[in-house]
Amino acid sequence: MAPVQNVALVGSNGAIAPSILTALQASPFKTTVLIRSTTNTSTLPPNTHTLTIEYTLSSLTTALRGIDVVISTLGATASSEQRLLLEASIAAKVTRFIPSSFGSDLQNPLTRALPVFKDKIEVEELLASKASSNEIEYSILYCGPFLDWGMKVQFFANVSGQGTIEIYDGGRGEFSSTTVAGVGKAIVAILTHFSETKNRILRVSEAVVSQRLLLDIADGIRGPEMKNTAEEIHVNSSDLEKFAYDNLHKGELGMDTWVAFIKRSLFGQGYGAKWDETDNRLLEVGVLSQEELESVVRGVIEG
């Protein structure tokens, strides 16, 4: 019998869950999406197997019995729910838990110290502790910012050539990134290479990019007939960090505070946003060619 047959995906909305679900549904694994009674399921593929749960230990434990792997894509504001999900996974004797880490490399000391990542780090540390006592296994995946999604929502690059764009620390700082489809592919590979990915921190990157590189590619795609008229606003990422800490001390915990910390981890020198080594080969994730990278940017521009 294969080590993995039944997979549960928790957190069906957001930037990354749809691509992970797509990849899982194209794989041999039987996938169940755990949803709340209030979850909007209209965006789920029609063949999706769902199970409605409440976020209680008993409801989650019941739902997870017979599940081999739990994949969490719960958002940063759902930290208590992710810990409860882990507790239920252990109670239900789930073999492995993949937490909603993704994004920044939380092993970097500077990034690790940023308050926005506190809850994710606590989950990772709890997982490591439970794994050391053989209560559950884990795989932690860092993939950098989602390349296509990050441009679509203008998180790190506005490639439309219109409006405004914030340029951080000169815009030439390089960072590792992965498309949402690439993340889905890596998740399936973790399940396929189950023994090799046991209790490991894994890193993937399809492209090392910078703001300037992406903007230059976008300018070339649009051509002279669609001149870039976007106003550049230059920002020091150290100022972002100061802004975020000031808000934190005043008790202002809005999204702009957390985003400022995340952008500091992405653009700040020494924060480890560019991986020195990756697990691309193990996780069957390739590096985008120049043509493929241009295709990703084109897809964002053309919608």
pLDDT digit string (tens) for 231-249?
Answer: 999 999 999 999 999 999 9
Please give the C-alpha separations between residue 109 and each of 9, 173, 175, 264, 272, in angstroms, as whole numbers.
30, 19, 17, 13, 9
pLDDT at position 1 = 54
Q: Which helix (H) or strand (E) holds 200?
A: strand 200-203
Average pLDDT, the chain: 93
pLDDT band, very low/low/confident/very high, at 77 (cuts 50, 70, 90): low
> Do 23 and 40 meet the contact criterion of CB atoms below 8 Å apart?
no
Main-chain dihedrals φ then ψ at residue 232, nearest 5 degrees? -85, 130
The dihedral region occupied by 225, where left means phi > 0, alpha psi between -120 and 50, and beta the remainder, is: alpha
Is the pLDDT score of 76 beyond 70?
no
pLDDT digit string (tens) for 117-162?
Answer: 999 999 999 999 999 999 999 999 999 999 999 999 999 999 998 9
Query: Which three-class secondary structure state does DSSP give residue 190?
Result: helix
Nearest C-alpha neighbor of 127 from the set 46, 66, 57, 70: 70
Q: Which long-range contacts (CB under 8 A, 24 or more apart) does 293-299 make?
A: 293/207, 293/209, 293/217, 294/217, 294/220, 294/221, 296/147, 296/148, 296/151, 296/179, 296/207, 297/151, 297/159, 297/214, 297/217, 297/218, 297/221, 298/221, 299/148
Q: How far apart are CA 288 and CA 273, in angstroms?
A: 18
Q: Which helix (H) or strand (E) holds 69?
A: strand 69-72
The H-assigned helical ranges of 223-289 are 237-249, 255-267
Tokens describing residue 157: 């690059």
Q: How far apart are CA 33 and CA 284, in angstroms?
A: 24
Tokens describing residue 113: 């110290």
Helices 57-64 & 79-91 angle (0-180, nearest 10):
50
Q: How far apart are CA 18 and CA 34, in angstroms?
A: 13
The pTM of the full predicted model, rounded to 2 decimals, is 0.94
Query: Which three-class secondary structure state does DSSP give residue 221?
Result: helix
> Do 68 and 3 meet the contact criterion of CB atoms below 8 Å apart?
yes
Burial class (CB in 10 A: 0-12, 13-18, 19+), 141: buried
Q: How far apart are CA 230 and CA 245, in angstroms?
A: 29
Main-chain dihedrals φ then ψ at residue 281, nearest 5 degrees? -65, -45
Average pLDDT over residues 78-91: 90
pLDDT band, very low/low/confident/very high, at 222 (cuts 50, 70, 90): confident
Beta bridge partners of 176: 208
pLDDT at position 285 = 97
Task: Report the amino acid identity of residue 286.
Answer: G
Nearest C-alpha neighbor of 145 from the set 87, 199, 204, 200: 204
pLDDT at position 3 = 84
Q: How far apart are CA 217 and CA 297, in angstroms?
A: 7
Is the pLDDT score of 116 beyond 70?
yes
